[in-house]
Amino acid sequence: MTTLAKRPLTAKAGLPLFVLTLAASLAFSGSAEAQEAGSLLGDLAQGLNNAAPGSDAAASLSGRIIQLIALMTVLSIAPGVLVVMTSFTRFVIVFSMLRSALGLNQTPPNMVLSAMALFMTFFVMQPVFDDAWTGGLRPLLNNTVTEEQALVGIGAPFKAFMFANTRPKDLKLFADLVRDNEAGQNVEPAPETPAPATAEEASWRTLVPAFMISELRRAFTIGFLIYLPFIAIDLIVASVLMSAGMMMLPPVMISLPFKVIFFVLIDGWYMLAGSMMQSYVAYGGGG
């Protein structure tokens, strides 16, 4: 009885000690981080004050600040770049249309569909990422190229990938729009602009929106083909219910399990994932 009575006292006595220790560690770590951040800001302010206006030191420090701001800007728009310059758009649209065709509102959930689209995008884009790393990012980290050269080396594989998977018709559309915009108020009409023949000839201004239109067109085409068999199942179920006189019974409720088992029996996920990844033109590398 004595031993059992002492255990709660030990736990109660150790709890305040644990709380005090945790509070002290947080306080010391917070003060250390504040001192470190303060020292960095202090060094930056001291460097700005000590550097003479127009000197090389002031120019170098200003350049570093601008580079830091540019890096933060690039990181903030990285999700948008992932959507518009990779295969993510096609995958996520097709998966969403598949869920609608099956009649499932929240199954699979959006998080699962986005994760599937993200990993399939990584599978398709891995050669592009490897070339962007070896051609631009790694030399920049090794200080063997300038920032401008690194941007060209990073962007070349993405341009080659987008150009290989973009319709010439879409490229010509935006090339004509750029031509008309640059022509302005000229009286004479601008000459006909041919579609770019290589990725180097295509500008980012025309290639990115043309690639997006091509991706949306292909995604909706695949979605239409996915809808057809499920619409046929809905029509068959509705006809059977009407002929049986069960007009008050919702056909969607009856056709849903048939559509799910049909998709499972034909191994739909295997066919859909394989066909979508094979629909992309193989990236040869080299930009």
Averaged pLDDT for residues 166-193:
73
**Is the peptide bond preceding residue 194 cis, with omega within 30 degrees of 0?**
no
Per-residue pLDDT band for 226 (boundaries 50, 70, 90) equals very high
Which residue bears the tokens 């602009």?
193
Query: What is the token pair recorded at 10?
Result: 């030990």
For residue range 108-131, what is the model confidence (pLDDT) as tens digits? 889 999 999 999 999 998 899 899
| Region of 39 on the Ramachandran plot (φ > 0 left; ψ -120 to 50 alpha; else beta) | alpha
Q: Is 264 helix (H, G, I), strand (E, B) or coil?
A: helix
Spatial distance between the Cα atoms of 223 and 229, rounded to a whole number of angstroms: 11
Percentage of residues in the chain having pLDDT higher than 70: 71
Question: Per the confidence metrics, is the pTM higher than 0.85?
Answer: no
Residue 50 scores a pLDDT above 50: yes
**In this structure, are residues 125 and 87 in contact, taking their beta carbons and an 8 Å threshold?**
yes
Range among 18-22, 96-100, 173-177, 280-284 with highest mean pLDDT value: 96-100
**How many other C-beta atoms lie within 10 A of the C-beta of residue 48?**
13
Listed in order, strand segments (DSSP E) in 158-231 are none
Spatial distance between the Cα atoms of 146 and 144, rounded to a whole number of angstroms: 7
**In this structure, are residues 83 and 208 in contact, taking their beta carbons and an 8 Å threshold?**
no
More confident residue, 249 or 226: 226
Per-residue pLDDT band for 41 (boundaries 50, 70, 90) equals very low
Compute CA 250 distance to the chain's CA centroid, rounded to the nearest angstrom. Answer: 39
